[in-house]
Chains A and B, each alone.
Chain A
């Protein structure tokens, strides 16, 4: 058998966590570098995985029976829906580590704990993305709460305990509800097929009485809605984002919130595709509220971290609208935007974190006109903001365009709402930028703040490069995810069947069995920019 690359990507960080926890506590540099080494190896493996990945199949499948009596398998695989996020996870961890390199400011045990928690979180996140067994997914999904709880609770701001408790309780209530739903589906499958299985693909074939089905569907919507977050389940979000240490905000907003969206894509919609279609207007309406309301709230924030948090909330709503438009453009946009949003929001939080390092404040009013003092920082911030608001040539544009197209195809109203949400977001961000960077320096203390250090540049440059790269050459990425997404949206159950027939060898080659009868006109995937 080939190298079980997915298992390696999942468990290498965990091994790293164990490794750093046995290192001597005095050598903080050694701790950091060891953690970094593990993360970089993982990044290299993920890039390799991404390069090898191609097309519509589920690849790199690993399947071993795990809890035999219940038919629960250790079942992993990569397809168009998760490949980008696995890459992003592996990328953002070292970046978050570099960004918090000095800020951690911890000695001995706490530094050790911090590194171990980061590595443990990476394991759980990749695991959640790669799992194709519903129980396995659930286990990783829940397990990532543990390190995140400590990252916020131990290393966060003033109100960290309040924020982290609230975050965990919201998430747990959602996921326990999901667990009940999973159990019901699991038994219904057993009752009809006579075998236990946690295989998401097999479970998607089960049929239910209409009332039960609606309950199950909404159990998933609430669980993933809390995680994403979807309006009105978001009230844990501002505190958690703001109270996290900067690197924590990067991970929670950049990666953990995506697990919620990914849950919709991988579980809620395929398991209940007809309900997904039936209730799409409802979910899209909630997401549209998030888009508009989030952008408006972001505009009036006086504090940068909160502003970025609400801006991110607004953009997550946009991704969900794309997803629930349930057509190829929308879903493709959503999948790509998940990665884009991870990049952009991480960059925003890192920059805000850097500003907080300099001045111990993130109030907008405490800055003003610092553009001339910190040219590097203001330039990179500008690029990030332009990417965030969807300027052509940067990554935000391609995906947002696809989402807006998808939304318009599904309904005119949502198209208009998404488009205006994007506009509001742009206003909010640019206005903030103007207040912080343009004009004369308003406060004396600001005239001497330092520009970006080499370490900070090192954290930001890869993100900026990706923004430009995806913006200019989206084709490379869209070609990877396009075929898979197309099959996904063409017929959700056919997608499942196609996967079910695979022989679970690594990597399996699936025969093309769905003929193209879909006459949807497609947007050229490069958006004419290539």
Chain B
């Protein structure tokens, strides 16, 4: 059999290549620059990673929005992947920035912390650009395996180890299911390339294909933590370090959505109503469970985990609509979701004391008075999550709901609205916890990096709430690349 090397366009892959090279350099030379037990070690790694990410971001912009197909059709660089690559780079960069104030306090000395983030980021970027079930799978694993390690990075912490183990086992099973689905699809259509699949599908949809699709979708639903594949989320969020929880809650979710959306638009659109019903059902279950379970939480990380489950539900509502507008509203929503979540987790990092994370409602008490600016930012984030104007979260929800109403799914929107109403209760509870009287802890906190991310995120959240037009236009252009 003759092996033909596919045409490889290096420029299109340059952002990923840069990150990989830097990550390997860090792996090899890290111990020389600053050994595991020197104080500056991890920080140097962080700064190098930031520089690499900035470079990747700029090249990503330079590639432009024209479609480039490379690696034998496995990788597609278009406006859509450009958008998601930018998102995950932003998520990684800001998670690294907030980790600066954190690693010293929590005694993290290993430089591997950052190179694992870089490897995972490459996986996330490939998720957004993959146009083949195989490359999606590889990207999925490249993204996930470093995260399993990162979740358990606090080795002395039992919760972290347990969370890492749980995430690893369940993640491995979900990957298995995904591959099984890919095999079934290959069996029914004879290809794993998304575009070729769409052509081969035509009008005859075999049960094998449907089963395969269902398995693939289950794999995606696991990564975005939609019901009924959500169980790992609260435990893993709770167990991981705050910067990693932040990174996971935004990066993994965005990346998983990017592959999911491409798969959904290219292939599932041809299969008609059968999957609409299923996703609709998942959306309702996800919104309801996420919001009701969040009501009872006292631990902020768990609360945010359930809240993130609920938000996936809202996004699925627009996915059901499936239109170009729906996809663009999802892109908009994911961006604002990422900004807000990074903001909130940065705030928690900001409020964390040496060796003790700020993670319960009680830990927040009094901060509203001691750090009013941070409290105002927290207010903006929470109101944004609750979907109250004039925040980006409101605009995001508005666009999602508009997409669903446009598609004729008013019932789904009503469920989303009720769920959203419920969510207000627990977001406000967090807000009020900051203003518990009598516990005024006017302690001095020095964490300018985290404070910077918080304020920046708050400004973007407000800006998108007042002036969503331009960004929505960008999301529309990027979504159009899929159609």
Report A's interface with B, CB cutoff 8 A: 21, 66-70, 109-110, 112-113, 135, 138-140, 142-143, 145-146, 149-150, 153-154, 161, 165, 168-169, 172-173, 176-177, 179-180, 183-184, 186-187
Contacts and interface: CB of A to CB of B under 8 A. Distances in A.
A165 B428 contact: yes
Interface string B354-394: 00000000000000110010000001000100101110001
A318 to B, nearest CB: 30
Please report whether the interface of chain B is mostly helix, strand, loop or mixed according to DSSP. Answer: helix
Interface string B180-198: 0000000000000000000
Contacts of B428: 149, 165, 168
B413 interface: yes
Nearest to A161: B432
Contacts of B353: none
B421 A180 contact: no
A146 B388 contact: yes
A176 B420 contact: yes
Contact of A180 (B394, B413, B429): B413
A184 B424 CA distance: 23
Nearest to B425: A169
29 contacts: A66-B469, A67-B472, A109-B369, A113-B372, A135-B398, A138-B389, A139-B389, A140-B389, A142-B388, A142-B389, A143-B388, A143-B389, A143-B390, A146-B379, A149-B428, A149-B431, A150-B435, A161-B432, A169-B421, A172-B424, A173-B418, A176-B420, A180-B401, A180-B413, A180-B414, A180-B417, A183-B401, A186-B402, A187-B406
The 7 closest A-B pairs by CB, nearest first: A139-B389, A176-B417, A173-B421, A183-B405, A142-B389, A172-B424, A67-B469
Nearest to B397: A179
B199 interface: no
Interface string B427-466: 0110110010000000000000000000000000000000
B424 A169 contact: yes
Contact of B388 (A21, A113, A145, A153): A145
Contacts, number: 81
A394 B71 CA distance: 84
Contacts of B476: 69
B421 A139 contact: no
B55 interface: no
B7 to A, nearest CB: 38
B473 A69 contact: yes
B73 interface: no
A153 B383 contact: no
Given A109-B372, A165-B425, A168-B428, A183 B469 contact: no
A172 B372 contact: no
A259 B431 CA distance: 25
A173 B428 CA distance: 14
A223 to B, nearest CB: 12
A168 B469 CA distance: 29
Interface in B95-110: none
Contacts of B394: 139, 142
B468 interface: yes
B410 interface: yes
A149 B372 CA distance: 16
Contacts of B417: 176-177, 179-180
Contacts of A146: 379, 383, 388
B420 A153 contact: no
A170 B413 CA distance: 19
A183 B468 contact: no
Nearest to A113: B372
Nearest to A174: B421
B374 to A, nearest CB: 12
A440 to B, nearest CB: 40
Interface string B312-340: 00000000000000000000000000000
Contacts of A173: 418, 421
Given A139-B394, A142-B389, A165-B432, 7 more contacts: A67-B469, A69-B469, A113-B372, A140-B389, A153-B435, A176-B421, A180-B417
A176 to B, nearest CB: 4
Contacts of A183: 401-402, 405, 413
Nearest to B442: A109
A156 B402 CA distance: 37
A183 B403 CA distance: 10
A66 B418 CA distance: 28
Most buried by A among B383, B388, B425: B388
B145 to A, nearest CB: 41
A301 to B, nearest CB: 28
B390 A139 contact: yes
Nearest to B419: A176
Contacts of A179: 398, 401, 417
A67 B432 contact: no
Nearest to B375: A113
Contacts of A135: 398
Contacts of A186: 402, 405
A26 B213 CA distance: 64
A135 B420 CA distance: 18
Contacts of B379: 146, 150
B468 A67 contact: yes
B188 to A, nearest CB: 38
A110 B424 CA distance: 24
B372 to A, nearest CB: 5
B36 to A, nearest CB: 43
Interface string B222-251: 000000000000000000000000000000
A113 B369 CA distance: 9
A172 B421 contact: yes
A36 B78 CA distance: 55
Nearest to B387: A176
A81 to B, nearest CB: 23
A183 B398 CA distance: 9
Nearest to A212: B410
Contacts of B413: 180, 183
Contact of A168 (B389, B418, B424, B468): B424
Contacts of A180: 401, 405, 410, 413-414, 417
Nearest to B424: A172
A357 B424 CA distance: 34
A237 to B, nearest CB: 18
Contacts of A21: 372
B225 to A, nearest CB: 24
Contacts of B429: 165
A525 to B, nearest CB: 39
A69 B472 contact: yes
Contacts of A138: 389
A386 to B, nearest CB: 40
B160 to A, nearest CB: 34
A139 B431 CA distance: 21
A140 B414 CA distance: 22
